[in-house]
Structures are given as C-alpha cells and as structure tokens.
Structure 1
Amino acid sequence: MAIRAEILEQIFTVVAQIPVGRVTTYGRIASMTEGATARLVGTAMRQLPEGHLLPWYRVIGATRRIADHGGAARQHAALRAEGVIFDASGRVPAHLIWPD
C-alpha cells in the first residue's frame, strides 16, 4: 500500500512527539492527521526505514494492548524500559495514554 508522503510526514511528526513513558493508539494518531486511518498508521509503522529514530514502540492498539506482530516482544521490552506498566491482562493503564 502506497501512502502519500504528506500523510506519512504527519504520522511521523505525531509519533516523534509521544513522550517517554507514555503511549498512544493508532487511532489517536490518525485523528491528528488529515486523512489517515488507524490501519494506515499501522502500515506506516511497519514500513519505517532501517535505522530510523522514531519511537514506534509507543504506538499500541485501541484495546491498550500491544498488537500481535513480530516485534511485540521488543516493543514490550522497550516500553517497560521507559517505565510503562502493564496490568495482568497486558493492558497499559489509561492514564499513560497520550495526549491527555
């Protein structure tokens, strides 16, 4: 799926702003752009170029859980290293969702 450059730039700009120790959802990022959908945000995250510095791991699903993908263990570890906590069912507490 080809994503328009201006939409990608908007998505990447939002992702770059997610504070350390906080997360946001694919849908929240989409709502901060002009035309992206949650699915498109997920596609953009999967297509990040090698060596990028964006905190992709701070983007989670609307259920406040890490999506089931090949990098899920790495994402979980990166979030834990930043102090993000998970409840017994694997959800991030609502107070850690950005923006408030």
Structure 2
Amino acid sequence: MKPALREQILTIIAEIPAGRVTTYGRIAAMTDGGTPRLVARALRDLPEGHDLPWFRVITASRRLADHPGAVEQRARLVSEGVLFDGGGRVASEILWP
C-alpha cells in the first residue's frame, strides 16, 4: 500500500467521533483510490500501543467483522453508548459521516 493512501486512511479513522461508527467502504470512498480491503489491511497493520479508534470501523452490513478483536471491539463500542440489535447490527443513524 502506498504510504500516502495509508496516511489518508489513518487520518480518517482518527476523526471518527466517539459513539459513532463508519464502514470500511465509507472510509475507502473518502480516500484517493482506497478499497474496503485496503482499509482493513491498514487496520490490521496498526502497531501495538497505537491510539486510533480502530473499533469504530464496521462492515457495510453494520456488523462487526469476524476477527480476533471483535469481543474487545464490541465492548469498547458499548462503553461509548453504541447499541446492537438482536442481529448484531448498529443503527444506521449512528453511521459517520
């Protein structure tokens, strides 16, 4: 991945407000040539100890992606007041931007 694209992705993730979520696709659409998979890759490659709100990025179906950090992701979102319905989806009203 080009460093400029990675920087765009990380900058966008840093801007997601608490209590809101966005999708891999929405982030990709805000970049110059990004794709949802590249957004996922940028998140996967984050170094330990970073302070980006990675947990605010979800799938287009408004669910958490299936990954090892999903339990922690859900807990962090719930602590910010994000609610999940019976199908594990968040309300479309909290999608950012």
Cα separation, 2, equivalents of 1:74 and 1:51: 15
Give the number of equivalent residue pairs. 97
Alignment-mate amino acid for residue 88 of structure 1: G
Amino-acid identity (%): 60
The aligned counterpart of 1:4 is: 2
The aligned counterpart of 2:90 is: 92
Q: Could you list the runs of 4 or more consecutive aligned residues of structure 1 that deviate by over 6 angstroms after TM superposition?
A: none
Give 2:78's match in structure 1, choosing from 73, 77, 80. 80
SS of 2:77's partner is helix
TM-score (norm 2): 0.99
The aligned counterpart of 1:59 is: 57
Deviation at residue 15 of structure 1 after TM alignment:
0.2
Cα separation, 2, equivalents of 1:51 and 1:35: 28
Give 1:41's match in structure 2, choosing from 34, 39, 42. 39
Alignment-mate amino acid for residue 73 of structure 1: V
Q: CA RMSD in A?
A: 0.4
TM-score (norm 1): 0.96
Instruction: Give CA-to-partner distance per residue, 1:59-84, whole Å, 9 cap, x none.
Output: 00000000010000000000000000
Deviation at residue 40 of structure 1 after TM alignment:
0.5
The aligned counterpart of 1:50 is: 48
